[in-house]
């Protein structure tokens, strides 16, 4: 029962944090959730959740990374592949070396290999944190770079961390072995995710072919896919994180199955709820760990020097975070300069505005999050379990990592809006043109299909004049609707404006009609003129129609 109460409490805290954000809109939701978690974990309230890194990595990260991989534009990832690779791999190595030596210099009690391990866990940005802080706020090219980096650099950071940790415990390290291991772990993880996602697509296609098209069953299989991808990859000592990401990317292609509209509607709703809950729980869990981490840090010094020691630790966190920011900024600017000087600008970075402001946005947008916390908490208590030799400065490393996570979130939440103020957001004419062209071609295809479809060739229709007239009228009405779509996406601004105005008017009238239908439906039920089954069926249909209108408006 204790576990059930814990889960229910976490869900309640997620809801309370979202509600609180309505009253405190100037405080970002992730910060609110961390503060809320820290408050309820304070000894006076006594709510404690044991953080198990392996369970956390398996339970929370795969579905969220799977969803990010599903939704991130694949063409843009390929377009920005050069800069993303340099951020996801090159910057991790640069940070591990630069920050590792600095941490060892600043805190000599942490051995150099331990400092490298800490720097490795501080180097990857977190996909969940980046999405929570930056979604919808950044110009598209910069957002794609941050998304691609955060999806890919978890593997490079974790592999580097494991090798640094092994070196700290055994005293042995091989650069060649580490490089080969990284390639095997990363590429193997990607391959596992692609294969499992493809196999699921084949299974679903076979199920649909045999009439097994129950939406709940298909959605359940898709919910299990990220966990399966992670577990299988980790079983073979490959990157479970990259496996979940690649499974999501592959599934976005595989899921284009016919006769699956209802499944897709249900799938979107389920995943939206899952992302909402898991994103919130991750930051609340981070807050829940704060009191214990602070208590462990203070317990290492005497009562008379606790305050001065704590302030020194905070200063160390600030200095290390500043070094991480400086290294990241130097790496971004150096890569831009090198690409420009050598005239080897890839197509993917040509539309990224290479200004100081863009470089700072990329730098501050590199938010640390749950992956850093899970990794650093997995540092063992002892270097040698038999001899009970403790891992040097483990509590200090954990405190620094948590401090950097919080500081990166705070700085991003405060500085990103300032950096983005008055920024000239790029109007992506190419995407708008592509969207209009897609609508135009699909509308033309529909009209052509209706024009050439000879329904009157059916003997029963051709012999019935009334039915034939009805067919012709229906076809004309449908084609008129498609021609309105063509006008809405025409090149003329005047025609576009008239079409948009007509769409808004039609949407308003249709929504008013749907709401009137719904009120009448409720009235019929109140007067017991119809049963619950009928109410449910009609209400579902009305909801789908209204959702369709809302989706069209969003476009």
How many angstroms separate the Cα of 341 from the Cα of each of 84, 90, 336, 344?
A: 19, 19, 9, 8
Write down the pLDDT at residue 4.
79
536 and 392 belong to one structural domain: no
Residue 157, domain member (yes or no)? yes
Residue 384, domain member (yes or no)? yes
370 and 500 belong to one structural domain: no
Whether 134 and 419 have beta carbons less than 8 Å apart is answered as no
Q: What is the dihedral of CA 393, 394, 397, 402, to 10 degrees?
A: -140
Which two three-digit tokens encode residue 87? 């951020």
Which two three-digit tokens encode residue 465? 């004049």
Write down the pLDDT at residue 127.
63
Write down the residue that tokens 């110009």 correspond to.
139
Whether 393 and 107 have beta carbons less than 8 Å apart is answered as yes
Handedness of CA 238, 241, 246, 251 (dihedral sign): positive
The DSSP element (H or E) to which 389 belongs, if any, is strand 389-390
Provide the CATH number for the domain around residue 296: 1.20.1530.20
383 and 279 belong to one structural domain: yes
How many angstroms separate the Cα of 256 from the Cα of each of 253, 264, 268, 408?
A: 6, 9, 14, 38
278 and 323 belong to one structural domain: yes
- Cα–Cα distance measured from residue 424 to residue 234, given in angstroms and rounded to the nearest whole number: 44
20 and 88 belong to one structural domain: yes
Whether 52 and 319 have beta carbons less than 8 Å apart is answered as no
Domain boundary among 391, 426, 461: 426
- Cα–Cα distance measured from residue 109 to residue 115, given in angstroms and rounded to the nearest whole number: 10
379 and 487 belong to one structural domain: no
Residue 153, domain member (yes or no)? yes
Write down the pLDDT at residue 552.
43
Write down the pLDDT at residue 420.
79
Digits of tens for pLDDT over the chain (555 positions)?
A: 567 788 888 889 999 988 888 888 777 788 888 889 888 888 766 677 777 777 877 888 888 888 888 877 777 778 788 888 888 888 999 999 999 999 999 999 898 888 999 999 999 887 666 666 665 667 778 888 888 888 888 778 888 888 888 887 776 666 677 778 878 888 999 999 999 999 998 888 888 888 887 888 888 999 999 999 999 999 998 888 889 989 988 887 766 554 566 777 788 888 888 888 888 888 888 888 888 888 877 777 767 677 788 888 899 999 999 999 999 999 998 888 776 666 555 544 455 566 788 888 889 988 888 788 888 888 887 776 676 778 888 888 889 998 999 899 889 888 888 887 766 555 555 556 655 666 566 666 766 666 665 554 454 555 566 766 776 777 777 777 777 666 666 656 666 666 667 667 767 777 777 778 778 877 877 877 777 667 777 777 777 777 777 654 333
404 and 512 belong to one structural domain: no
451 and 527 belong to one structural domain: no
Write down the pLDDT at residue 317.
93
Residue 525, domain member (yes or no)? yes
- Cα–Cα distance measured from residue 437 to residue 144, given in angstroms and rounded to the nearest whole number: 23
Buried b (16+ CB within 10 A) or exposed e, 159-172: bbbbbbbebbbeee
C-alpha closest to that of 245 among 290, 318, 196: 196
Q: What is the pTM of this model?
A: 0.76
Write down the pLDDT at residue 454.
56
74 and 154 belong to one structural domain: yes
Residue 49, domain member (yes or no)? yes
Handedness of CA 39, 40, 45, 46 (dihedral sign): negative
Expressed as residue numbers, the domain containing 455 is 443-491
408 and 547 belong to one structural domain: no
154 and 7 belong to one structural domain: yes
- The number of domains in the chain is 3
Which two three-digit tokens encode residue 299? 């317990």
129 and 22 belong to one structural domain: yes
Which two three-digit tokens encode residue 139? 């110009």
Residue 181, domain member (yes or no)? no
Residue 254, domain member (yes or no)? no
Residue 176, domain member (yes or no)? no
- Cα–Cα distance measured from residue 141 to residue 324, given in angstroms and rounded to the nearest whole number: 23
């Amino acid at each position: 029962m204790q576990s059930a109460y814990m889960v229910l409490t976490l869900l309640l805290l997620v809801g309370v944090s979202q509600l609180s954000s309505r009253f405190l809109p100037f405080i970002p939701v992730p910060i609110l959730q961390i503060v809320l978690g820290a408050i309820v974990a304070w000894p006076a309230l006594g709510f404690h959740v044991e953080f198990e890194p392996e369970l956390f990595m398996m339970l929370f990260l795969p579905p969220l990374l799977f969803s990010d991989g599903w939704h991130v534009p694949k063409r843009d990832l390929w377009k920005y592949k050069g800069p993303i690779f340099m951020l996801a791999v090159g910057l991790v190595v640069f940070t591990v070396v630069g920050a590792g030596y600095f941490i060892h210099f600043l805190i000599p009690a942490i051995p150099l290999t331990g400092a490298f391990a800490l720097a490795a866990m501080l180097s990857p940005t977190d996909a969940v944190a980046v999405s929570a802080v930056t979604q919808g706020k950044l110009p598209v090219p910069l957002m794609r770079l941050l998304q691609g980096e955060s999806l890919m650099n978890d593997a490079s950071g974790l592999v580097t961390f494991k090798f640094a940790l092994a070196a700290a415990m055994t005293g042995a390290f091989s650069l060649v072995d580490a490089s080969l291991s990284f390639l095997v772990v990363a590429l193997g993880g990607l391959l596992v995710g692609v294969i499992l996602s493809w196999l699921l697509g084949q299974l679903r296609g076979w199920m649909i072919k045999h009439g097994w098209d129950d939406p709940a069953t298909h959605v359940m299989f898709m919910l299990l896919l990220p966990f399966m991808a992670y577990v299988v990859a980790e079983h073979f000592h490959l990157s479970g994180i990259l496996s979940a990401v690649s499974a999501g990317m592959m599934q976005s292609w595989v899921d284009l199955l016919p006769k699956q509209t209802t499944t897709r509607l249900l799938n979107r709703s389920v995943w939206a709820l899952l992302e909402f809950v898991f994103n919130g729980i991750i930051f609340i869990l981070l807050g829940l760990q704060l009191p214990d981490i602070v208590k462990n840090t203070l317990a290492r010094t005497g009562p008379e020097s606790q305050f001065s020691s704590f302030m020194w630790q905070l200063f160390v966190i600030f200095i290390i975070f500043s070094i991480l920011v400086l290294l990241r900024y130097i790496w971004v600017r150096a890569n831009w300069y090198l690409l420009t000087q050598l005239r080897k600008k890839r197509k993917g970075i040509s539309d990224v505005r290479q200004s100081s402001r863009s470089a700072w946005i990329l730098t501050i947008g590199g938010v640390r999050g749950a992956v850093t916390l899970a990794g650093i908490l997995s540092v063992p208590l002892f270097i040698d379990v038999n001899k009970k030799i403790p891992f040097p400065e483990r509590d200090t490393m954990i405190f620094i990592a948590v401090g950097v996570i919080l500081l990166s979130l705070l700085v991003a939440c405060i500085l990103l809006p300032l950096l983005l103020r008055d920024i000239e957001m790029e109007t992506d004419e190419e995407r708008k043109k592509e969207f209009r062209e897609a609508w135009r071609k699909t509308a033309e295809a529909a009209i052509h299909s209706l024009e050439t479809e000879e329904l009157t060739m059916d003997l029963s229709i051709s012999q019935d004049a009334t039915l034939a007239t009805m067919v012709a009228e229906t076809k004309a009405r449908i084609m008129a609707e498609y021609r309105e779509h063509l006008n809405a996406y025409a090149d003329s601004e005047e025609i576009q404006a008239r079409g948009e105005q007509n769409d808004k008017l039609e949407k308003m009238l249709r929504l008013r009609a749907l709401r009137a239908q719904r009120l009448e439906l409720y009235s019929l039920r109140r007067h017991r003129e119809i049963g619950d089954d009928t109410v449910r069926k009609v209400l579902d249909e009305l909801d789908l129609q209204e959702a369709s209108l809302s989706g069209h408006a969003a476009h």
